[in-house]
Amino acid sequence: MSRLETTYLGLKLKNPVIVGSSGLTSSIEKIKKIEEKGAGAIVLKSIFEEQIKYEAGSMANGSDSPEAWDYVNYYVKNNTVQEYLDLIKKVKEEVKIPVIASINCVSSQEWTNFAKSIELAGADAIEINVFVLPNDKNASVDKYESIYFELATKLKNIVNIPFAFKLGSQFTNLVGFVQKLNIPGVVLFNRFYAPDIDIDNMKFTSSEIFSSPADLRNSLRWVGIISSIVTDIDIAASTGVHDGKAVIKQILAGATAVQICSTLYNNGIEYLNTIISDIEAWMAKKGYKSIQEFRGIMSYKQIDDPLVYERAQFMKYFSSIQ
């Protein structure tokens, strides 16, 4: 019998499949069903920095615009901080799998104190979705990266529970950046909102909000590289994971855990059973008794030809196509 148990951020998971932050994890009813269908852990739907700052009295401060205040009041009324803390408490009371809280942020400001409230509410860990848009042409790379480092330092001083940064892939030196973060874990990668243009109605819309299986290749590459170079950090793979095969690939590349979301929207929460069963069947076929036996065996430094992870190899592969 194959054992799927693993450890992520110091948390014991019955299997490496985590349901990522989304509407799927926004209520106790949905989360209980996710647990029933076999998930190893869940990441709660995110609370945003703007909500936290408003509760602290800093959002829209100094604005004389009634429209601004109306928006803020409506936003927070429907997304209160206390409701989020109450959800954490209720989920922890009613489910046994690890519960990871989630915060979306764009700065390292005073909102970080709220992380302690999340810990006191009972969350097992925190996932920080960080994105700072580098749109200042006069700013140095260090200016933007320092926000992440400052945030990591503040959180280390505030909370005792583990935390991970959910990162985008657009860093000049992603391996070095992850190494310098010196935090318990990272999630590779975040799927950010991206604008699109409706050319018929001449207005901006959102691009596709769900990932596709093809998106796996980017995270797979970096999971494989970073897991074998930055060895003292847990990595959760995310984006493009749509079936059991994709989960297996990420673990082979070195992922500690794997987050899924879009595939459950497309196939239903029941699809969790299929994903987990497919992992078990593959392990039995290959003779693996535990996740640890095959994790990372196809990572960057563990294979005979690590160049397969590098861009030059990709270019060489297609050079013969006319």
pLDDT tens digits for 44-62? Answer: 999 988 888 777 664 445 4
In a domain, 87, yes or no: yes
Q: Range with the lowest mean pLDDT among 161-165, 244-248, 314-318?
A: 314-318
In a domain, 66, yes or no: yes
Q: Which domain holds residue 106?
A: 6-318
pTM for this entry: 0.87
In a domain, 1, yes or no: no
Structure tokens at 283: 């392990």
Number of H helices, E strands in the chain: 12, 13
Q: For position 259, what pLDDT does the model report?
A: 98
Q: For position 128, what pLDDT does the model report?
A: 96
DSSP, residue by residue, 69-85: HHHHHHHHHTS-HHHHH
With cut-offs at 50, 70 and 90, classify the pLDDT of residue 66.
low
Q: For position 142, what pLDDT does the model report?
A: 84
Residue 121 reports pLDDT greater than 80: yes
CB 17 within 8 A of CB 39: yes
In a domain, 247, yes or no: yes
Q: For position 269, what pLDDT does the model report?
A: 97
- Selection from 211-215, 231-235, 311-315 with the highest mean pLDDT: 231-235
Q: For position 312, what pLDDT does the model report?
A: 46
DSSP, residue by residue, 136-194: -TT--HHHHHHHHHHHHHHHHHH-SS-EEEEE-S--TTHHHHHHHH--SEEEE------
Count of structural domains, the chain: 1
CB 103 within 8 A of CB 131: no
For the chain, what percent of residues have pLDDT higher than 70? Answer: 88
Q: For position 3, what pLDDT does the model report?
A: 92
H, E, C per residue of 92-143: HHHCCCCEEEEEEECCCCHHHHHHHHHHHHCCCEEEEEECCCCCCCCCCHHH
CB 271 within 8 A of CB 264: yes
Structure tokens at 39: 């998930």
C-alpha distances out from residue 9 to 72, 125, 143, 162, Å: 34, 8, 28, 6
Task: Work out the mean pLDDT of the chain and round it to a whole number.
Answer: 88
CB 18 within 8 A of CB 259: yes
CB 302 within 8 A of CB 228: yes
Q: What is the CATH number of the domain that holds 174?
A: 3.20.20.70
In a domain, 57, yes or no: yes
Q: For position 244, what pLDDT does the model report?
A: 98
Q: For position 306, what pLDDT does the model report?
A: 82
pLDDT tens digits for 246-301? Answer: 999 999 999 999 999 999 999 999 999 999 999 999 999 999 999 999 999 999 98
Q: For position 4, what pLDDT does the model report?
A: 97
Residue 139 or 1, more confident: 139
Q: Range with the lowest mean pLDDT among 146-150, 283-287, 300-304?
A: 300-304
With cut-offs at 50, 70 and 90, classify the pLDDT of residue 110.
confident
Of the candidates 38, 160, 186, 164, the residue with the CA atom closest to the CA atom of residue 101: 164
With cut-offs at 50, 70 and 90, classify the pLDDT of residue 71.
low
